[in-house]
């Protein structure tokens, strides 16, 4: 796979691994030690506590991160709407500080890694209450039952959908449900247990557009870490020249590539998918795409200025 250039907010100007730190305005941001451990996961090593008066060591103003890849980025925050510490573009270990960015700062920060606290409050095995702790041998907060000790793992959701092609146009559905009520989307939804990704994409298309489709090829895999979702989008064609709004759609329509309503799309994932698709069709060279959509904390699902695409990869069939 060929990797396209990725934008970064700072670039090294010398061999000094801390050059990037000095190229932007720095502010030290204090976070609880446990939050740093949770946010950094396996990327952190040599973490050191700084003891306060009384012998306690709850806060850590600086850490050492041994990055092994260039353009590695990290976004951590105890309150994502106020101070967003960011580290970017390091290829060697260095002392980490941070710069501030307001919630109205426009584009999202590359390669975000946000704290995702467990949401399971009660044990699915015995019904006991859970507490958020880091189990032995792990590096993330988990919801752990206080009675039976069962660990509840929470994983990303898989979303599957179709780019339905017909006579040089694509099929879009106007949403009848929230979020993004009244906005256009490709037929897509959450994968169900017991079905493959392609089966789920066909089912969602039938449910939302009453359209029977045949999968032609996979088209894109998109990850959205902030909301815990991964998308697999397929190219498909109508088995029969028929479609109509399903229970979750206000209307369905075929759009030519030049008439796609980008300003009225429901989700960033749909916007990115359609942009890549139109580019491939006009170039006459269909590819398989992968990227990460890093959403700005607090941005709405349809905010076209509330995300940034990172880690973009593509390959020709």
For residue 128, what is the domain's CATH number?
Answer: 2.20.70.10
Residues 183 and 281 both lie in one domain: yes
Distances in whole angstroms, Cα of residue 95 to Cα of each of 46, 60, 72, 88, 127: 11, 12, 14, 12, 44
Residues 134 and 232 both lie in one domain: no
Residues 294 and 213 both lie in one domain: yes
Q: Report if residue 141 sits inside a domain.
A: yes
Beta strand 188-190 with 157-166: parallel, antiparallel or unpaired? antiparallel
The H-assigned helical ranges of 126-264 are 197-209
Residues 148 and 218 both lie in one domain: no
Residues 176 and 301 both lie in one domain: yes
For residue 196, what is the domain's CATH number?
Answer: 3.90.79.10
Domain edge (last residue) among 60, 89, 116:
116
Residues 207 and 191 both lie in one domain: yes
Q: Report if residue 1 sits inside a domain.
A: no
In DSSP notation, 86-111 reads: EEEEESS-EE--B----TT-SSPPSS
Residues 128 and 224 both lie in one domain: no
Q: Report if residue 2 sits inside a domain.
A: no
Q: Report if residue 53 sits inside a domain.
A: yes
Residues 206 and 101 both lie in one domain: no
Residues 302 and 197 both lie in one domain: yes
Residues 138 and 162 both lie in one domain: no
Distances in whole angstroms, Cα of residue 126 to Cα of each of 24, 129, 154: 51, 9, 18
Q: Report if residue 217 sits inside a domain.
A: yes
- For 238, the domain range is 157-316
Residues 170 and 310 both lie in one domain: yes
pLDDT tens, the chain, 317 aa long: 444 443 333 333 333 433 333 333 333 334 444 443 444 443 333 333 333 344 443 333 333 333 333 333 333 333 333 333 333 332 333 222 222 222 233 443 333 344 467 789 999 999 999 999 999 999 999 999 999 999 999 999 999 999 999 999 999 999 999 999 999 999 999 999 999 999 999 999 999 999 999 999 999 999 999 999 999 999 999 999 999 999 999 999 999 999 999 999 999 999 999 999 999 999 999 999 999 999 999 999 999 999 999 999 999 87
How confident is the model at residue 187, as a pLDDT? 98
Residues 294 and 170 both lie in one domain: yes
Q: Report if residue 269 sits inside a domain.
A: yes
| Domain tally, the chain | 3
């Amino acid at each position: 796979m060929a990797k396209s250039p990725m934008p970064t907010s700072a670039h090294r100007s010398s061999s000094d691994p801390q050059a990037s730190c000095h190229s932007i305005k720095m502010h030290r941001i204090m976070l609880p030690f446990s939050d740093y451990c949770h946010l950094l996961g396996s990327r952190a090593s040599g973490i050191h506590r700084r003891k306060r008066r009384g012998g306690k060591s709850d806060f850590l103003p600086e850490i050492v991160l041994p990055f092994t890849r260039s353009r590695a980025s990290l976004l951590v925050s105890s309150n994502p709407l106020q101070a967003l510490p960011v580290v970017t573009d390091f290829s060697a270990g260095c002392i980490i500080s941070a710069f501030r960015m307001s919630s109205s700062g426009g584009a999202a920060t590359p390669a975000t890694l946000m704290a995702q606290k467990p949401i399971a409050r009660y044990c699915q095995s015995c019904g006991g209450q859970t507490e958020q702790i880091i189990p032995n041998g792990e590096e993330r907060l988990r919801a752990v039952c206080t009675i039976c000790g069962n660990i509840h793992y929470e994983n990303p959701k898989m979303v599957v959908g179709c780019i339905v092609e017909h006579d040089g146009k694509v099929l879009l559905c106007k949403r009848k449900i929230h979020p993004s009520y009244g906005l256009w989307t490709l037929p897509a939804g959450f994968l169900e247990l017991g079905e493959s990704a392609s089966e789920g994409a066909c089912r969602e298309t039938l449910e939302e557009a009453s359209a029977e489709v045949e999968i032609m090829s996979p088209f894109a895999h998109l990850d959205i870490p902030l909301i815990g979702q991964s998308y697999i989008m397929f190219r498909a064609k109508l088995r029969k020249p028929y479609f109509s709004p399903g229970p979750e759609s206000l209307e369905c329509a075929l759009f030519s590539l030049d008439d796609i309503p980008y300003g009225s799309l429901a989700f960033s994932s749909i916007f990115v998918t359609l942009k890549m698709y139109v580019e491939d069709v006009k170039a006459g060279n269909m590819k398989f795409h992968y990227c990460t959509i890093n959403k700005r904390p607090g941005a709405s699902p349809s905010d076209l200025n509330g995300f940034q695409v990172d880690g973009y990869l593509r390959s020709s069939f």
